[in-house]
Amino acid sequence: MIKKPIYFDHAATTPLCAEALEKMAPYFTEMAGNANSQHIFGRQAMAAVDNARDTIAGIINCKPNELYFTSGGTESDNWALRGAAHALKYKGKHLIISPIEHAAMIATAKALEKEGFEIEFMKVDEEGFVDLDHLKSIVRKDTVFVGCMLANNEVGTVEPVKEIAKIAHEAGALCFTDAVQAAGVLDIDVKDLGVDMMSMSSHKIYGPKGVGALYIKNGVSIESIITGGHQERMRRGGTTNVPGVVGFAEAFRIAAEEREKNAKYVSSLRDRFIDRVIKEVPYVKLNGPADGAKRLPANADFSFKFIEGESILFSLDLAGIAVSSGSACSSGSLEPSHVLLALGVPEGLAHGSIRFSFGKHNTMEEVDYAVEVIKQAVDRLRNMSPLFKAESEVKNV
Ligand SMILES: *Cc1c(COP(=O)(O)O)cnc(C)c1O
Helices 73-87, 103-114: axis angle to 10 degrees equals 30
Active site annotation includes 175: no
Indicate the residue type of 11.
Answer: A
The pLDDT tens digits of the residues spanning 26-63 come to: 999 999 999 999 999 999 999 999 999 999 999 999 99
153 Cβ below 6 A of ligand 1: yes
| Cα–ligand 1 centroid distance for 181 (angstroms) | 8
Quick check: CB of 201 below 6 Å from ligand 1?
yes
Is residue 73 lining ligand 1, measured as CB closer than 6 Å?
Answer: yes
Predicted TM-score (pTM) of the model is 0.96
Per-residue pLDDT 10s for the chain (397 aa) are 789 999 999 999 999 999 999 999 999 999 999 999 999 999 999 999 999 999 999 999 999 999 999 999 999 999 999 999 999 999 999 999 999 999 999 999 999 999 999 999 999 999 999 999 999 999 999 999 999 999 999 999 999 999 999 999 999 999 999 999 999 999 999 999 999 999 999 999 999 999 999 999 999 999 999 999 999 999 999 999 999 999 999 999 999 999 999 999 999 999 999 999 999 999 999 999 999 999 999 999 999 999 989 999 999 999 999 999 864 444 555 688 999 999 999 988 999 899 999 999 999 999 999 999 999 999 999 998 887 878 777 665 4
- Which of ligand 1's atoms lies nearest the C-alpha of 329? 1
Give residue 180 CA to ligand 1 midpoint distance, Å: 6
Contact status, residue 12 vs residue 357, Cβ threshold 8 Å: yes
Query: Exposed, middle or buried: residue 227 (CB in 10 Å: 0-12, 13-18, 19+)?
Result: exposed
Nearest-atom number in ligand 1 for the CA of 104 is: 10
CA distance 147 to 165: 9
CA distances from 347 to 25, 308, 338, 343 (A): 47, 11, 10, 11
For residue 180 and ligand 1, the question of a CB distance below 6 A is answered with yes
Tell the residue nearest (CA) to atom 8 of ligand 1: 73
Q: Which contacts of 305-311 are long-range, i.e. CB under 8 A and separated by 24 or more positions? A: 305/348, 305/349, 305/352, 305/388, 306/352, 306/382, 306/385, 306/387, 306/388, 306/391, 307/352, 307/378, 307/381, 307/382, 307/385, 307/388, 308/351, 308/352, 309/351, 309/352, 309/353, 309/354, 311/381
Question: What is the C-alpha radius of gyration for the chain, rounded to an integer number of angstroms?
Answer: 22
Yes or no: say if 49 and 184 are a contact pair by the CB < 8 Å rule: no
Our mutation pick for probing the ligand 1 site, out of 100, 153, 200, counting the most ligand atoms within 8 A of Cβ, is 153
Residue 102 beta carbon below 6 angstroms from any ligand 1 atom: yes
Give the nearest ligand 1 atom to 202 CA. 7
Pairing of strands 353-357, 324-325: antiparallel
Measured in degrees and rounded to the nearest 5, phi and psi for residue 94 equal -100, 120
**204 ligand 1 Cβ < 6 A:** yes
User: Given 17, 148, 175, 329, which residue is catalytic?
Assistant: 329
H or E stretch covering 152: none
How long a stretch of residues is the chain?
Answer: 397
CB of 211 closer than 8 Å to CB of 180: no
β 212-216/284-287 pair status: unpaired
Paired strand residues for 145: 95, 174
Taking only the tens place, the pLDDT of each residue in 172-229 is 999 999 999 999 999 999 999 999 999 999 999 999 999 999 999 999 999 999 999 9
Q: How far apart are CA 154 and CA 299, in angstroms?
A: 8
CA angle 64–238–73, rounded 5-degree value: 65
Three-state DSSP state, 118: strand
**CB distance 207 to 20 below 8 Å:** yes
Ligand 1 neighbour 74 (Cβ under 6 A): yes
